[in-house]
Structure 1
């Protein structure tokens, strides 16, 4: 059944983060960052605060009003998220406001660097299988301008054309306009496209507003909902 589903389309667009790639042990990265600055914090607590911050800043984000996206706005989103986590960790007892601010910017540069990312283990083989089926592949992602370099460093950039990055095109999910752009750049009709991503609003609701079918991928056991757990489920 899933094979017939894929064969119904001419092109598959993907989200990037938490769909194709991830930062493994993000809490350990921050723990090490803090320890180098003589601050000891528990990794489990850091992980819980990241989860809390993502829920508040990302998963609870309302669909409207839509605003323009830029490298600066993306940076500020993440700086504010990191600031929330650091303040919850009590770093403002040891650091000045300026030191917290500077560290948040340093964290942004660090977390957006290619060396922090790994592909999920099903990605490369799934992309190859889709390509063998004659499917075109693309990306629509809310991401820093480093995304293409990250994909290149992982050896998968060549699979995708186009790669639509929010900070490059000035649009970001869940604004359906970024999916209208995806339709335009594909040269196909909306019904010829399938989108796969992890976020119910950004990656399911938004593409459906312009007629693109979407499948949610749930990469972690704690995530609930209707979708797939692996890209391998798309194949017989």
Structure 2
């Protein structure tokens, strides 16, 4: 892998930006507005139920090809996850209204926050004449979120699972992203917070892979690991050498 890096790919959520608060807090706050009977342990119960439902969900890959059908498939995919959450913690009469509202909440950029170094890191990478891309299992709401956060225009490409009919860690989604830039795998780097989806997926596809572990929880030998996006620059310099 001696080629120069020409493209830097990023995962999106929990790599470039994060939920303001937590998913469980947002679910609980919205559900209470629609009649969910809150209990002292509701927040923790929702947190655990969401973690399980998300982990057990099938990949967000759909056969639909038309934009309207894709959006419908994305919505149904999330409906199943949220329904499983409240099936475990307590269903309530106005659940469908609640889901409509909470689905819109996560399309609103005000629900998300950029990490402190995101904007400056992207600017510095562009100053190096590097192309930038997104490879994400986020759905098509990602486009509105990134526009609202002011970072959409920095990226040359955005490759998401529902439009690609492949989801990380499958090599196919990485291959599609590479084709958009007309580069070989060894000319690209991918950064993300998931060891399985981002590091293992990118590595199998032949890209340089970097794990973003902000809290220092991962102890994986042989994996390039950073705690902040700012640490990319010395890493890029070492690879170039």
TM-score with structure 1 setting the length: 0.81
**Residue 21 (structure 2) aligns with:** 25
Is 2:192 the partner of 1:197?
yes
- Aligned residues between the structures: 222
The structural deviation recorded for 1:14 is 0.5
Query: What are the superposed Cα offsets for residues 182-229 of structure 1, whole Å, 9 maximum, x if unpaired?
Result: 1110111110000011122221122222211211112346x4344222
Matches within 5 A, 1:1-236: 8-26=4-22, 27-41=24-38, 45-47=42-44, 49-58=46-55, 68=63, 70-90=70-90, 92=91, 95-96=92-93, 99-220=94-215, 223-226=217-220, 227-236=225-234
2:45 and 2:89 in contact (8 A); partners too: no
8 Å CA contact 1:28–1:43 kept in 2: the answer is: no
Q: CA deviation at 1:102?
A: 4.3
In structure 2, distance between residues paired with 1:77 and 1:108: 11
Whether the aligned pair in 2 keeps the contact of 1:68 and 1:171 (CA below 8 Å) is no
> 1:216 is paired with a residue of what secondary structure?
strand
- CA distance 1:67–1:149, change in 2 (3 Å): closer
8 Å CA contact 2:117–2:229 kept in 1: the answer is yes
TM-score, length of structure 2 as denominator length = 0.79
Unaligned stretches of 5+ residues in structure 2: 65-69, 235-241
Q: Is the 8 A contact 2:34 2:98 kept in 1?
A: no
Task: Show structure 1 runs of 5+ residues with no match.
Answer: none
| Rounded Cα–Cα distance in structure 1 between residues aligned with 2:17 and 2:74 | 18
Q: Distance in 2 between matches of 1:229 and 1:47?
A: 27
C-alpha distance in 2, partners of 1:202/1:67? 18
The alignment's C-alpha RMSD in Å is 2.8
